[in-house]
Homo-oligomer: A and B are copies of this chain.
Amino acid sequence: MAQEQIHRHNIGTLLRHVHLGGSVSRATLAERMGLNRSTIMALTSELGAAGLVREAPPTDTRRAGRPSLLVRARPDWAYVLAFDVAVDRLVAARVGLGGALLDRREAVRPRAGADLEHVVDVLAQFGRQLYEAAPPDSVCVGIGASYCGMIRPGDGMVRFGPDMGWVDQAFGAELSRRLGLGIPVRVGNEAHLGALAEQQRGAGIGFQNLLYLHGDVGVGGGIIVGGKLLDGDGGYGCELGHMVVNPYGGRPCGCGSHGCLEAEVGERALLDAAGRPADLWGRDALRAVVDDADRGDELAREALRRIGDWLGIGVANLINLFNPGMVIFGGMLRDVYPGAAPQVRHRIATNVLPVARERVRLSTSALGDDSTLVGAAELGFADLMADPLATLARTTAHA
């Protein structure tokens, strides 16, 4: 590892601490990064000169000794554009350094028949509006997008978007071209980004190993292993929705197989189990089943128990594999989980080896329906965190 690399690593790490932590004292930064205070001071000065952070005296001066200056992200200058292509909506937002959501646009998306042209049209228009409404001296340092499908990491190609029937659509490149800001659009799978968002700003803070299960029509997954998103060789890992749990006699799955986890616990499985008509679908229909169960409707309760048993088998398998500290239920599973929790816990007790379940916790997502959007914003910030000064030089050159 050479000097230049180390400097880049250190300055990026410091910016990440401040970006995620709000305001952090120089002393805390020195401790967390294992560096002495003069090095921290030098790095902070560089980031300050670049306009990314500011220093301020601490407000709490009760402690004895010379107070350590607080380092804060400057939220009103450097920002990212974040996009979310979900099964039922299209969202765009402007998010400042430090994570504040500064501005936002949203449209309902028809469930079927959304082609690349239409999706990019809506998002690019939102994006231009957000860009033009930003303060004149501010700078867009990155763009991130969340998509409900399998994404090639390098260029944001949608390899497979089952919900819209997309195969090999150049979503990232096309959105970047239409925005015309000269900044590449980084695209990630919605469940991957939801996992990162929950780990950085939600229910998973402090956990190095966590599972995030994201329900929409199907079930996606984001898995953090040793602090990093599991991506695999091509970036296509974490497909826990297609774990076969019911190979003989299981429900047909959208992937062409049978008995996948998402076929047994997805939206359609729950609505069918609750005796709802086949032409009823969507988040509201699903919430109605959960509400009915809460009111004591036996068919709705039994539907949640049944879904809970399959969900529990899937989660138990994943805990055996990943020995995580935390399992987070997001998307529509946030609605489903509370009523299904007894079955999930029973399966964990039955199927997970005792030492692997000693400390695991289960939770619904803390960021709610914004987990994927927050994840997209963090993806937009990734270049800045990896190399703050070079990224800033590149993006301000385009402004």
Given the known A-B contacts A232-B323, A313-B247, are A242 and B351 also in contact in the complex, defined by CB atoms under 8 Å? yes
Q: Is the CB of A320 within 8 A of B245?
A: no
Q: Give A23-47 as 1s and 0s: 1 = Cβ < 8 Å from B's Cβ atoms.
A: 0000000000111100100000000
A49 lies within 8 A of chain B by Cβ: no
Q: Is the CB of A321 within 8 A of B323?
A: no
A366 lies within 8 A of chain B by Cβ: no
Min Cβ gap A33→B in Å is 8
Q: Give A139-160 as 1s and 0s: 1 = Cβ < 8 Å from B's Cβ atoms.
A: 0000000000010000000011
Q: Is the CB of A232 within 8 A of B9?
A: no
A244 lies within 8 A of chain B by Cβ: yes
Given the known A-B contacts A255-B353, A350-B257, A353-B239, are A323 and B234 also in contact in the complex, defined by CB atoms under 8 Å? yes
Q: Which of A89-97, A221-229, A290-298, A386-394 lines the interface with chain B? A: A221-229
Q: Give A353-397 as 1s and 0s: 1 = Cβ < 8 Å from B's Cβ atoms.
A: 111101110000000000000000000000000000000000000
A112 lies within 8 A of chain B by Cβ: no
Taking a contact as CB atoms closer than 8 A, the residue among B1, B248, B354 that contacts A9 in the complex is B1
A6 lies within 8 A of chain B by Cβ: yes
Q: Is the CB of B234 within 8 A of A160?
A: no
Given the known A-B contacts A1-B9, A226-B228, A226-B231, are A160 and B354 also in contact in the complex, defined by CB atoms under 8 Å? yes
Of listed A231, A237, A240, residue having the most chain B CB within 10 A: A237
Taking a contact as CB atoms closer than 8 A, the residue among B209, B239, B317, B350 that contacts A232 in the complex is B209
List residues of chain B with CB within 8 A of the CB of A34: 1-2, 5
Q: Say whether chain A's binding surface is mostly helix, strand, loop, or mixed.
A: loop
List residues of chain B with CB within 8 A of the CB of A9: 1
Q: Is the CB of B322 within 8 A of A356?
A: no
Q: Is the CB of A237 within 8 A of B323?
A: yes
CA distance A322 to B320 in the complex (A): 14
List residues of chain B with CB within 8 A of the CB of A203: none
> From A350, which residue of chain B is reached at the shortest CB distance?
B257
List residues of chain B with CB within 8 A of the CB of A33: 1
A284 lies within 8 A of chain B by Cβ: no
Of listed A35, A232, A235, residue having the most chain B CB within 10 A: A232
Q: Is the CB of A244 within 8 A of B245?
A: yes
Taking a contact as CB atoms closer than 8 A, the residue among B230, B242, B317, B353 that contacts A160 in the complex is B353
List residues of chain B with CB within 8 A of the CB of A235: 323
CA distance A208 to B1 in the complex (A): 20
Q: Is the CB of A321 within 8 A of B243?
A: yes
List residues of chain B with CB within 8 A of the CB of A6: 1, 6
A169 lies within 8 A of chain B by Cβ: no
Q: Is the CB of B321 within 8 A of A238?
A: yes
List residues of chain B with CB within 8 A of the CB of A352: 242
List residues of chain B with CB within 8 A of the CB of A242: 317, 320, 351-353
Taking a contact as CB atoms closer than 8 A, the residue among B1, B236, B247, B313 that contacts A355 in the complex is B236
CA distance A36 to B317 in the complex (A): 47
CA distance A246 to B237 in the complex (A): 23
CA distance A257 to B317 in the complex (A): 12
Q: A1-B9, A1-B35, A233-B360 are in contact. List 6 more A-B contacts (CB 8 A).
A: A1-B1, A209-B233, A225-B230, A230-B321, A232-B322, A237-B322
Could you tell me which A residues sit within 8 Å of B by CB distance? 1-2, 5-6, 9-10, 33-36, 39, 150, 159-160, 208-209, 221, 223, 225-226, 228, 230-240, 242-248, 255-257, 260, 313, 316-317, 320-325, 350-356, 358-360
- 16 A–B pairs (Cβ distance < 8 Å), ordered by A: A1-B34, A1-B35, A160-B353, A209-B233, A221-B321, A223-B321, A226-B228, A230-B321, A237-B321, A237-B323, A239-B321, A242-B353, A244-B351, A246-B247, A255-B351, A257-B351
